[in-house]
Chains A and B, each alone.
Chain A
Amino acid sequence: MQHSVEHVDKPSAARNTDAGRVALDPNELAALCEQQIGRRDKRFAIERPVQLTTVSLDGMLDSSQRHNGTSREISVRGISVDVTSGTFHASQPLLLGMHFEQLGIQYAGLIVRRVEKLEESIVRLGADFGGPAAEVLSTGHLMPEFRASQMAFLMPQPPQVYDNWVNSGILQKTLLDHVMVCPRCAAIPTVRNACRKCGSGRVANDRLIHHFACAYVGFKAEFETGTNELVCPKCQMRKLSIGADFEYLIGENRCRSCGWRDSEVELVGHCLRCSNRFEMTQAREQELYRYDVSRLDPLAVTSELA
Chain B
Amino acid sequence: MLVDWIHWLSHLSWLEVALLLMGTMLVDCPRYALARVLIVTIDFSKDLWSWLCGRDGQEEFDYCPSICVILAGYNEGDSVARAIESLIGAYPRLEIIVIDDGSAEEHSMVEYARPYGKKYDNILVLARSERGGKSSAMNFALPYTRAEIVITVDCDSSLDDAALWECVQYFKDPEVGAVSATVFSRNPYVNLCTWMQAYEYLHAIFTGRMVAERFGILGITSGAFACLRREAVERTLGWDVGPGEDLDLTMRIRHLGYKIKCAPYADCLTDVPTKWKQLWRQRLRWEEASVVRTHCRKHIDMANPMKASFRWSNFFVSFELITVNLVFGYVILIYSAWLCVNKPQHALFVALTFYVYTLLLEFINVLTLTYYSRTRLAHLTTCLVLPLSPFYQLFLIANRIVSYTREIFWRTSFKDNFVPKHVRDVTWKW
Contact = CB atoms under 8 A, between A and B. Distances in A.
The answer to whether A and B belong to the same complex is yes
Nearest to A237: B428
B426 A218 contact: no
A215 B241 contact: yes
A161 to B, nearest CB: 43
Which secondary structure dominates chain B's binding surface? mixed
Give chain A's interface residue range (CB within 8 Å of chain B).
20 to 34
B281 interface: no
Give chain B's interface residue range (CB within 8 Å of chain A).
20 to 34
Contact of B144 (A245, A247, A251): A251
B238 A252 contact: no
A233 B237 CA distance: 9
Nearest to A222: B143
A210 B132 contact: yes
Contacts of B343: none
B139 A217 contact: yes
Contact of B136 (A206, A217, A235, A262): A217
Interface string B103-117: 000000000001001
B248 to A, nearest CB: 10
Contacts of A31: none
Contacts of B422: 212
A262 B126 CA distance: 9
A43 to B, nearest CB: 69
Contact of A217 (B117, B140, B240, B245): B140
A232 B354 CA distance: 52
A218 B133 contact: no
A264 B125 contact: yes
A212 B136 CA distance: 8
A251 B128 CA distance: 9
Given A215-B136, A218-B143, A252-B126, A234 B117 contact: no
Interface string B229-269: 00000000111110001000000000000000000000000
A300 interface: no
B126 A251 contact: yes
12 contacts: A208-B140, A210-B128, A212-B241, A215-B238, A215-B239, A216-B238, A217-B136, A217-B142, A233-B237, A249-B128, A263-B117, A264-B117
Nearest 8 interchain pairs by C-beta: A215-B135, A217-B139, A234-B237, A215-B136, A212-B423, A217-B140, A215-B241, A212-B426
Interface of B: 114, 117-118, 124-128, 130, 132-133, 135-136, 139-140, 142-144, 237-241, 245, 422-423, 426-428
